[in-house]
Amino acid sequence: MRRKIVFILVLSLVLGIMLAGCGTNNSGSKAPAEDSSWEDIKEKGYFIVGLDDAFPPMGFRDENNQIVGFDIDLAKEAAKRLGLEVKFQPIVWETKEQELNGGNIDVIWNGLTITEERKKHILFTKPYMEDHQIIVVRADSDIETKEDLIGKKIGIQAGSSAIEAVEADPIYEKIKDNILEFESNVLALRDLKGGGIDAVVVDEVVGRYYISKQAEDYKILKDNFGVEQFGVGLRKGDKAFLAQLEKVLDEMKEDGTAAEISKKWFGVDIIKY
Burial of 3 (0-12, 13-18, 19+ CB in 10 A): exposed
- Higher-pLDDT residue of 185, 254: 254
User: pTM of the full predicted structure?
Assistant: 0.69
Task: Report the C-alpha gap between 96 and 62 in whole angstroms.
Answer: 23
Kindly compute the dihedral angle of the four CA atoms of residues 134, 138, 142, 145, in this order, to the nearest 10 degrees: 0
pLDDT mean across residues, the chain: 89
Among residues 108, 110, 92, which one has the least CA distance to residue 100?
Answer: 108
pLDDT for residue 22 is more than 70: no
Helices and strands (DSSP H and E) totals, the chain? 11, 13
Domains and CATH numbers, the chain: 37-128+231-266 (3.40.190.10), 132-228 (3.40.190.10)
**Hey, is 11 helix, strand or coil?**
helix
Length of the chain (residues)? 273
SS3 (DSSP) at 238: coil
pLDDT 10s digits, 88-121: 999 999 999 999 999 999 999 999 989 999 999 9
Confidence of residue 179 (pLDDT cuts 50, 70, 90): very high
Q: Residue 10 contacts by C-beta under 8 Å, 6 or more apart in sequence?
A: none
User: Is the per-residue pLDDT at 8 higher than 70?
Assistant: no
| Cross-strand pairs, 129 | 230, 271
> Whole-angstrom Cα distance, residue 216 to residue 138?
9
pLDDT digits (tens, 9 = 90+) for 192-202: 999 999 999 99
Beta bridge partners of 167: none
With 70 as the cut, is the pLDDT of residue 131 above it?
Answer: yes
